[in-house]
Structure 1
Amino acid sequence: MNWYVLHTKPRWELKIFKALTELDIEAYCPTYTSVRQWSDRKKKIHKPYFNSYVFVRLEEAERDLVFGIPGVVRYVFWQGKAAKVRASEIQLLKEYLDGEVMAEGRIEKLAVGEEVRCARGALKDRTARVEKIGPYKVRLVLPVLGYRITARMADLVP
């Protein structure tokens, strides 16, 4: 079984994730909680980290099952084939996004373009390149995942 990336209609990620799990198809849609302010109230809502994308784990022969779900647009393709994501990358993503690996801290003495090593958490001993530095956050490019991640990390080792 391989992990694939589904492209969805905008703001349909959680509906599709629910429909996939109801069909007993293994799926992953990482979310975070955001507080939205209206004129009369505040509300916590769950938003996906990856807009218009859901990860799904299927056999090659079962890939067409997802197109019976409203809101699924297509698979993401790479070099003419449905893009496969390694299970280790999905696991790393789960550990990082679902875990408690972020900590408050002020990043100092780092330079844009510098290679750093994460000293703790799910990304321990992984190297990343610093793309942008803020007072409490740093944007890292992780070549293993192929993503940019903005994180509040206390211990980076240059």
Structure 2
Amino acid sequence: MDSTTQTSSHWYVLYTKPRAEKKLAKQLLQDGIEAYCPTRVEVKQWSDRKKKIETPILPSMILVNIPDQDRPLVFDRPQAVRYLYWLGKPAKVSSKEVESLRSMAEDSQFESQELQSLRPGEKLDMTALGFEQIEGTVKFVNAKECWIILEHIGYVVKFKKSQLEL
């Protein structure tokens, strides 16, 4: 291996303990490790009030940009569980996909998308849903929610109509 390969970093999917995504991402950032926990704002309703809460888009997962040889460093934090593997190798996420998640989380462009127009099995150019150069497959859709498979990481992202209208 040459030295440029050893020092190049990639985005990896890191499993976290339940409900520890934002906390772990913050701690890794403090440790000097680039970490990203994509979130969306969700309205939660209790019997006496409604509150907007920032909810992770990828439950129990965060994205970390780290050189290959430094991947074990994330396990210095007890909230880190393991890396996601895809086809026998650590799942790598392209920078374009990470930027698309960032732009989707910051700029909810889902409002104009009619859920009823989507069909299970349909391949989607996710650009229409706020992503850039990402392909997904519709897994399930009804009038209230849509599940889309992000094939590069083998994960299903679920969107509820109420979340898309915020």
TM superposition score normalised by structure 1:
0.73
CA distance in structure 1 between the partners assigned to 2:38 and 2:77 by the alignment: 19
Correspondence for 1:38? 46
Matches of 2:133 and 2:63 in 1, distance apart?
A: 26
What is the aligned partner in structure 2 of residue 97 from structure 1?
105
CA RMSD after TM alignment: 3.2
Deviation at 1:63, TM superposition (A): 1.3
Query: Is contact 1:112-1:131 (8 Å) kept?
Result: yes
TM-score by length of 2: 0.70
Q: Which has the larger radius of gyration?
A: 1
Taking the aligned partners of 1:82 and 1:30, their CA distance within structure 2 comes to 20
Matched ranges for 1:9-88 at <5 A: 9-88=17-96
Q: Using the TM superposition, give the Cα deviation of residue 120 of structure 1 relative to its aligned residue in structure 2, in angstroms.
A: 4.3
Distance 2:26 2:47 in 1: 30
Unaligned runs of 5+ in 1: 154-158
Q: Which structure 1 residue ranges, 4+ long, deviate > 3 Å from structure 2?
A: 78-81, 104-133, 135-153
Aligned residue type for 2:65? R
Q: Distance in 2 between matches of 1:73 and 1:125?
A: 30
State how many pairs are aligned. 153
More helix by proportion, 1 or 2? 2
